[in-house]
Amino acid sequence: MEVFLFGIAKDIVGKSDLDLSSIKQKPNTVGELIHFMNDSYPEFANLSSLAVAVNGEYASLEMPIQSNDEIAIIPPVSGG
């Protein structure tokens, strides 16, 4: 399971993608992934918001995630 990181999320983790295939308890939902990120990298808790995109679409906390999904952490956007 690979998670893409952008903006400040990339800075917090220190790389542009995170491989979760080796962790014991893989997150099964978007909510569990956010929980995992907050636990592993406490700086995420300080952000204004944190969203997750699954296959290029904003996903709800209940959305199940699978290893072949394209998953991305979306910190607060600031385009324009």
Partner 1 sequence: MQKPIIEIVDTINTAVVYDELSDAQSGGICVFVGTVREFTNNETVVSLQFEAYKSMALKEMHKIAEKASIKWPLNKIVMRHAVGSKKVQEAVVVVGVSAAHRVECFEACKFLIDTLKASVPIWKKEIFKNKSIWVSAHP
If one asks whether residue 80 binds partner 1 (CB under 8 A), the answer comes out as: yes
Q: Minimal CA–CA distance to 60: which of 70, 49, 51, 69?
A: 51
Say which residues have a Cβ less than 8 Å from residue 11's Cβ, sequence separation at least 6. none
- Residue 14 binds to partner 1 (criterion: CB under 8 A): no
From CA 78, how far away is CA 1, in angstroms rounded?
Answer: 27
* Nearest distance in Å: CB 8, partner 1: 4
Is 1 one of the binding residues for partner 1 (CB under 8 A)? no
Verify binding: residue 68, partner 1, rule CB under 8 A.
Answer: no
Binding-site member from 1, 2, 6, 17 for partner 1 (CB under 8 A):
6
